[in-house]
């Protein structure tokens, strides 16, 4: 509701400013520092003061005079140096909230593509990967909540170095055939993704000690790229199995995908060759004939850097001198495809149905019709950590060099900082640190070193802890039900933990903080929603029906109740779900939604302690309190839903 009235006021002021002063400007509304100043403040007079060479105060007065009455607004006043403070008509506002139907958001035109997760399919997922997936998934939910059409892509690099290394491990270190590996991954006693986690670390170690063994990797990569020999099948078996594990792990956290584009099809369908032709034709890249990059196709630094210092020093190799293409090259082709600019498409087949949702995977063979159309996005977000900024710049520069300036503008690197391990966490994990690492404040995770906290391990720890809490409170409940509730709490805790930090804040992972259920955490918010539900449940338990709110709370009654500053502030904050989500979308910060959820919960807990609902004797007030309880419950659930967090039946 708040969002609606906010937009209305902003538009009215913008229109007035345009007609009266001929100035075309957006009118953002702020929240006053003190609630006694009103519900909203307009600060547009300050920005106009310079242009008009008039005092902000005078302009503010003119605007107030010119605006006249706005529906739902009870007063406008000039305050301070030129603020215009807006007071809403509380009775009308309350009624409007009461009447507001829960409706589907208005559909917006265009299609947004979000690429996230993108874990190399050669080992189990760790909490660094998890931050990517949860940020991406939550942003998807935020966009969809606002009526936007979103397609979720999870890119699978199934032919890269990391998969090759595990293939090497099976083939050379363990001397296992494809059949042996097949048997291993079907062995219920073996967590195959965990097995590969260890094997990958062993292979990396082996390479360190035996550099000559790197030939194995080179041969494997070559075979994978040219699709020759047994390793192709072996690599496919491994990566397909690991992808399944990743999807399963992510599904525990309610993270889902629409399509899995794979590198193997980018190669087979010759996406790169097509992009290469375009890049050559537009002279976006050139063949280097001298210097250290001799024999390579490179993109000049001037294409992707503001200023260049040394000329050849900074150019980026796209095609290596041995005629193979780098990851960035493939990524340019992939990015072109996302916008429908490549002139080629994958074929698709259903990979799996998870929770009733079909995930498609790319394939090189024509398929019967039935798959939706993927790609052809109008706006593309790539959720990738900040370390890859440089490569993302190169990809965007590729689009620009091909003349796709608009699409380059609409390619957004949704970047975020890493998750690292605190010293204490390393000790708890029993990780032995090198002398060099001990001097550091925190330790970077590394799949190569086998250093990290696996997602499934962390979820299991959280479930175990939540289960202890649930058991101590609900010993009588069936075990299966307790486990279900503990799982919801664990997921709530984990998703919230990953979301409470803004994107460019480095997370120094610490078990004690991640395992906390108190204070600014997911379980705190879940618990609050459960409390609201409990009041209503108790009412129903007494055989009492909910009052007819619309009939009993007419505008006069509403105004009478909302004369209480407490109630008014509570209603205000509870009616800001849309406003808060839209603000978070605009700033690209899922953390803002998490923050709002927490504030909403705090507000309800205040209400809960200050105003006993069921024992209230005044009929009108009791009805009002029940209505607030119901409204808060709904709003808490909606906000948590945007965060991908469910509310348990009880806690």
Partner RNA sequence: GCGCCCGUAGCUCAGUCUGGAUAGAGCGUUUGCCUCCGGAGCAAAAGGUCGUAAGUUCGAAUCUUACCGGGCGUACCA
Q: What is the DSSP letter of 227?
A: T
Rg of the chain taking only CA atoms, in angstroms: 29
> Toward RNA, which CB reaches closer, 174 or 469?
469
Q: 43 to 72, contacts with RNA by CB under 7 A? A: 43, 46-47, 49, 56
CB of 356 to RNA, least distance (A): 28
Binding flag, residue 208, RNA (CB under 7 A): no
Binding flag, residue 627, RNA (CB under 7 A): no
Q: 483 to 502, contacts with RNA by CB under 7 A? A: 489, 500-502
Cα 498 from chain centroid (whole Å): 10
Binding flag, residue 248, RNA (CB under 7 A): no
**CB distance 578 to 2 below 8 Å:** yes
> Toward RNA, which CB reaches closer, 274 or 388?
388
Please give the size of the binding site for RNA, defined by CB under 7 A. 96
Q: What are phi and psi of 85, to 5 degrees?
A: -95, 135
CB of 8 to RNA, least distance (A): 19
Binding flag, residue 423, RNA (CB under 7 A): no
Q: Which residues contact 391 (CB under 8 A, 6 or more apart)?
A: 327, 328, 331
Could you count the other beta carbons within 10 Å of the beta carbon of residue 572?
20
> Toward RNA, which CB reaches closer, 76 or 96?
76
Q: Which residues contact 627 (CB under 8 A, 6 or more apart)?
A: 98, 547, 549, 553
Token pair of 370, please? 């039935």
What is the layout of strands, in order, in the sheet containing 149-153?
347-354, 357-363, 259-260, 149-153, 111-115, 379-385, 411-416
- 613, 636, 640, 645: which one contacts RNA (CB under 7 A)? 613
Binding flag, residue 225, RNA (CB under 7 A): no
Contacts with RNA, 559-588, as mask; x by CB under 7 A: ---------------------------xx-
Contacts with RNA, 521-540, as mask; x by CB under 7 A: --xx--x---x--xx--x--
> Toward RNA, which CB reaches closer, 149 or 305?
305
**CB distance 603 to 527 below 8 Å:** no
Binding flag, residue 596, RNA (CB under 7 A): no
Token pair of 427, please? 């000790």
> Toward RNA, which CB reaches closer, 467 or 558?
467
Q: 306 to 325, contacts with RNA by CB under 7 A? A: 307, 309, 313-314, 316-317, 320-322, 324
Cα 273 from chain centroid (whole Å): 33
CA distances from 279 to 273, 276, 298, 316, 392 (A): 10, 5, 11, 14, 17
Strand 419-422 to 507-509 pairing: parallel
Binding flag, residue 34, RNA (CB under 7 A): yes
Binding flag, residue 276, RNA (CB under 7 A): no
Q: How far apart are CA 200 and CA 187, in angstroms?
A: 19
- 14, 25, 37, 74: which one contacts RNA (CB under 7 A)? 37
- 182, 457, 513, 552: which one contacts RNA (CB under 7 A)? 513
- 122, 132, 293, 561: which one contacts RNA (CB under 7 A)? 293
Q: Report the greatest alpha carbon distance in the chain.
A: 89
Alpha helix positions (H), 22-126: 44-52, 56-67, 90-99
CB of 31 to RNA, least distance (A): 9
Binding flag, residue 28, RNA (CB under 7 A): yes
Residue 226: how many CA atoms within 13 Å on its side-chain side? 9
Binding flag, residue 606, RNA (CB under 7 A): yes
Contacts with RNA, 379-418, as mask; x by CB under 7 A: -------xxxxxx-------------------------xx
CB of 579 to RNA, least distance (A): 13
Binding flag, residue 294, RNA (CB under 7 A): yes
Q: Which residues contact 361 (CB under 8 A, 6 or more apart)?
A: 156, 259, 260, 262, 348, 349, 350, 351
CB of 224 to RNA, least distance (A): 11
Binding flag, residue 172, RNA (CB under 7 A): no
> Toward RNA, which CB reaches closer, 25 or 254?
25
CB of 397 to RNA, least distance (A): 14
Q: How far apart are CA 645 and CA 634, in angstroms?
A: 14
Q: How far apart are CA 557 and CA 92, in angstroms?
A: 11
Residue 267: how many CA atoms within 13 Å on its side-chain side? 20
> Toward RNA, which CB reaches closer, 141 or 531?
531
- 172, 207, 327, 511: which one contacts RNA (CB under 7 A)? 327
Place of tokens 């509870």: 574
> Toward RNA, which CB reaches closer, 296 or 383?
296
> Toward RNA, which CB reaches closer, 488 or 553?
488
Token pair of 591, please? 């953390």
Which range binds RNA by CB under 7 A, 27-35, 145-153, 205-213, 558-566? 27-35
Q: How far apart are CA 235 and CA 161, in angstroms?
A: 11
Contacts with RNA, 125-164, as mask; x by CB under 7 A: --------------------------------x--xx---
């Amino acid at each position: 509701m708040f969002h609606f009235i906010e937009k209305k006021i902003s538009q009215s002021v913008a229109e007035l400013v345009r007609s009266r002063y001929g100035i075309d400007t957006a009118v953002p509304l702020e929240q006053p520092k003190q609630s006694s100043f009103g519900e909203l403040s307009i600060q547009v007079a300050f920005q106009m003061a310079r242009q008009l060479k008039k005092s902000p105060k005078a302009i503010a007065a003119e605007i107030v005079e010119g605006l006249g009455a706005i529906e739902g607004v009870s007063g406008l006043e000039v305050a301070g140096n030129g603020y215009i403070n807006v007071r809403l008509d509380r009775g009308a506002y309350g009624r409007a909230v009461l009447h507001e139907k829960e409706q589907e958001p208005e559909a917006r035109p265009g299609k947004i593509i979000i690429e996230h997760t993108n874990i190399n399919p050669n080992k189990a997922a760790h909490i660094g990967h998890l931050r990517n997936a949860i940020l991406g998934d939550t942003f998807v939910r935020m966009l969809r909540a606002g009526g936007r059409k979103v397609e979720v892509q999870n890119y699978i690099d199934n032919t890269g170095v990391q998969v090759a290394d595990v293939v090497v491990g099976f083939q050379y270190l363990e001397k296992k055939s494809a059949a042996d590996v097949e048997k291993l991954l079907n062995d219920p006693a073996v967590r195959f993704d965990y097995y590969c986690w260890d094997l990958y670390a062993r292979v990396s170690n082996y390479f360190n000690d035996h550099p000559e063994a790197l030939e194995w990797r080179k041969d494997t990569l070559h075979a994978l790229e040219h699709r020759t020999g047994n390793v192709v099948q072996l690599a496919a078996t491994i990566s397909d199995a690991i992808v399944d594990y990743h999807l399963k792990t992510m599904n525990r956290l309610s993270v889902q995908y629409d399509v899995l584009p794979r590198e193997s099809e980018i190669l087979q369908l010759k996406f790169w060759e097509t992009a290469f032709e375009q890049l050559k034709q537009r002279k976006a890249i050139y063949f280097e004939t001298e210097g250290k990059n001799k024999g390579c196709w490179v993109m000049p630094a001037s294409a992707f850097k503001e200023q260049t210092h040394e000329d050849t020093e900074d150019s980026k190799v796209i095609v290596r001198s041995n005629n193979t293409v780098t990851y960035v090259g493939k990524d340019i082709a992939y990015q072109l495809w996302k916008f429908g600019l490549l002139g080629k498409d994958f074929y698709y087949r259903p990979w799996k149905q998870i929770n009733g949702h079909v995930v498609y995977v790319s394939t090189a063979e024509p398929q019967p019709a039935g798959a939706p159309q993927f790609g052809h996005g109008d706006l593309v977000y790539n959720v990738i950590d900040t370390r890859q900024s440089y490569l993302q710049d190169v990809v965007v520069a590729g689009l620009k060099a091909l003349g796709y300036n608009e699409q380059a503008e609409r390619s957004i690197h949704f970047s975020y900082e890493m998750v690292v391990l605190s010293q204490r966490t390393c000790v708890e994990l029993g990780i032995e640190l090198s002398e060099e690492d001990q001097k550091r404040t925190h330790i970077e995770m590394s799949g190569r070193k086998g250093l990290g906290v696996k997602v499934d391990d962390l979820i299991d720890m959280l479930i175990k802890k939540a289960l202890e809490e649930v058991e101590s409170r609900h010993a009588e409940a069936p075990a299966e039900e307790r486990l279900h509730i503990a799982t919801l709490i664990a997921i709530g805790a984990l998703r919230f933990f990953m979301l409470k930090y803004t994107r460019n804040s480095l997370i120094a992972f610490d078990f004690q903080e991640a395992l906390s259920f108190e204070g600014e955490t997911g379980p705190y918010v879940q618990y609050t929603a459960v409390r609201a539900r409990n009041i209503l449940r108790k009412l129903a338990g007494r055989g009492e029906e909910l009052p007819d709110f619309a009939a009993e709370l007419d505008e006069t009654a509403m105004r009478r109740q909302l004369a209480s500053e407490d109630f008014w502030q509570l209603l205000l904050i509870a009616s800001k779900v849309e406003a808060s989500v839209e603000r978070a979308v605009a700033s690209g910060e899922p953390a803002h939604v998490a923050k709002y959820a927490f504030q909403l919960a705090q507000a309800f807990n205040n209400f809960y302690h200050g105003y006993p609902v069921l024992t209230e004797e005044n009929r009108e007030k009791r009805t009002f309190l029940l209505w607030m309880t119901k409204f808060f419950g709904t709003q808490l659930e909606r906000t948590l839903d945007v965060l991908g967090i469910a509310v348990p039946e009880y806690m």
